[in-house]
Structure 1
Amino acid sequence: MKKLLSTILAMTLSFSVGTSVFAMENTEVPNKDVKSALELIEKTNLDIDVKIEKAVEEADKLNAEYLNDVKEIELGKEMFKLIEERERAVEELQTAIDSNKAEKAQEKLNKIEEKMKEHQDKINEKISALQEGIIELTEEMLAVNGERKTEKIEGKIAKLEGKLDGKSAKTAERTQKYTKDLEKTIEKVYDETLKMSNETVEKAAEKGVIAECSWKLVRFADRWVWIDPIRVVGF
């Protein structure tokens, strides 16, 4: 009986050890694959974040340049510079540490504001003159007889209106360029990150890890776009 129990115990131990080794042989490789896949997903997500960050910075830079250009177009170079000078003068006044410096900063600010008013008055005069010219030519056109004279006057009116609308045309042109550049930046990061995600999801699947694109909303200047880092579903 004792010999039989010893034999059964030995068989039991042998089976237990054998099963344990067999389990290790079957789980060791998948565990390494899973770890490798998870590391790959983490690295890809970090790389995607870097690309997104750079694209966001580029988009913000494009937006800042665009807004400055539009201000300069609409206000005119001279007025734009005066506005920048006024902002610096206001800052000097606010940070003045004694009454002497504050007085000088205030004098500087007053001179700049006076120049701004003079410049704005000149702009208003030019606009009024153009508008008056258009009205006079329109009245002249209504008073004349003859198609050729009418066409000539219409041509003069078109030129005057073109001067009034010139800034709007330049702004529209600049807006078109900004939109094109911004879309190019967004399209590039979108395509690159989508490709990175898809490739990593496929590689992870080969190692037994189920993953998918997990879309998140990202702001690029004045646009919001869905970008796709990776989320682990299971393994």
Structure 2
Amino acid sequence: MKRLTTTMFSFILLLSLATPAFASGDASLTEAVEKVEQKNDEIYDEIENGVTATDALRDTYFKKINEIEEAAEVLKLKQEKTEILIALEPSGQTDEALNAALSDKEEDIKSEEAALMVKADQLKEDAEHFTANAGKAGGNGQAVLLEKAAEAQQSFENIAYYFALTSDYEAERDAVIQEVYDIALELTEQGIQEAAANGLLAECSWVHVRFGDTREWIDPIQVVGIGPK
């Protein structure tokens, strides 16, 4: 999080741009900066609540798909992606090497999920094929084919269940992120207007925030100068 960094930057900027009257003890701009930071505190509280909520959703999702044998590889990739996102946090999600690794991992996940979809289609065909042929066979041959049909059908349903869980998880996760985004945007707009009324120039300071196993741009406030009151 950049909570402290934003505050320090705001004060340093004001010290470098302030008028002699301010530098000699006029507290009005200092109070204005503090009001901006109070608004930022509200924004970061919303962010932290959103991160906590999406991390909990992710953990539950990972636990559920861990029980699906067919999803073992994609779960491993998603866990590795999350580890990269966490490793990126100290740099504010800007480390170039880690971002390159993240992009590669995201492509691996897409490829694995595409392969799962192809496998599901094949399993569905296999189940239908074995069932049809079982009707033509007799004795032990029929039992073997029906068993194969049941196994193929179960694997197909497991993969379908993975995609259903994924869809539900991503919808819940994204709803939390959207709520944080909307609240932060509203608070930022309020803060910028209040800053202007108190003689400060402020703007959105977009930061990349990890939510669960993904990330989103959120917009705290940053003081960039002194303006007319």
Q: Does 1:181 align with 2:176?
A: no
Q: Which amino acid aligns with 2:163?
A: A
Deviations 1:39-82 (A, max 9, x none): 1111111221111111111111100100111112448xxxxxxx
Residue 198 (str. 1) matches residue 189 (str. 2) = yes
Letter of the aligned partner of 1:197 in structure 2?
A: T
Tell me if structure 2 keeps the 8 A contact 1:134–1:161: no
Bigger radius of gyration: 1
User: Which residue of 35, 42, 48 corresponds with 1:47?
Assistant: 42
Q: In structure 2, do the counterparts of structure 1 residues 228 and 139 end up closer, same or farther at CA, with 3 Å as the change threshold?
A: same
RMSD: 3.5
Number of corresponding residues: 141
In structure 2, how many angstroms separate the alpha carbons of the residues matched to 1:132 and 1:232?
Answer: 63
Residue 55 of structure 2: SS of its match in structure 1?
helix
Aligned amino acid, residue 205 of structure 1: A
The answer to whether 1:221 aligns with 2:212 is yes
Deviation readout 1:200-229 (Å, 9 max, x if unpaired): 101110111100011011111111111111
| Structure 1 counterpart of 2:67 | 72
SS in structure 2 opposite 1:232? strand
Q: Deviations over 1:126-151 (max 9, x none)?
A: xxxxx69944734878xxxxxxxxxx
For 1:1-235, list aligned pairs within 5 A: 31=26, 33-74=28-69, 134-135=129-130, 137-138=132-133, 161-235=152-226
Distance 1:42 1:217 in 2: 19
Q: What letter corresponds to residue 159 of structure 2 in structure 1?
A: S
Distance between the aligned counterparts of 2:63 and 2:155, measured in 1?
21
- For residues 1-22 of structure 1, the C-alpha deviation after alignment (integer angstroms, 9 at most, x for no partner) is xxxxxxxxxxxxxxxxxxxxxx
**Displacement, 1:187?**
0.2
Q: Which protein has greater RCO, CA pairs closer than 8 Å, 6+ apart?
A: 2
**Letter paired with 2:225:** G
- Structure 1: segments with no counterpart, 5+ residues: 1-25, 76-130, 142-156
User: Aligned AA for 2:36?
Assistant: I
1:207 and 1:68, CA in 2 relative to 1: closer, same or farther beyond 3 A?
same
- Distance of 1:36 and 1:56 partners within structure 2: 30
TM-score by length of 2: 0.53
Q: Which whole-Å CA distance do the structure 2 matches of 1:174 and 1:139 have between them?
A: 32
Higher-helix-fraction structure: 1
Identity of aligned residues (%): 31
Please give the alpha-carbon distance, in whole angstroms, between the structure 2 residues aligned to 1:169 and 1:132: 14
**Hey, what's the Cα distance between the residues in 1 that align with 2:149 and 2:131?**
13
8 Å contact from structure 2 (residues 200, 225) kept in 1: yes
Q: Which shifted more, 221-230 or 177-186?
A: 221-230
TM-score by length of 1: 0.52
Query: Aligned partners of 2:48, 2:131: CA distance in 1, in Å?
Result: 57
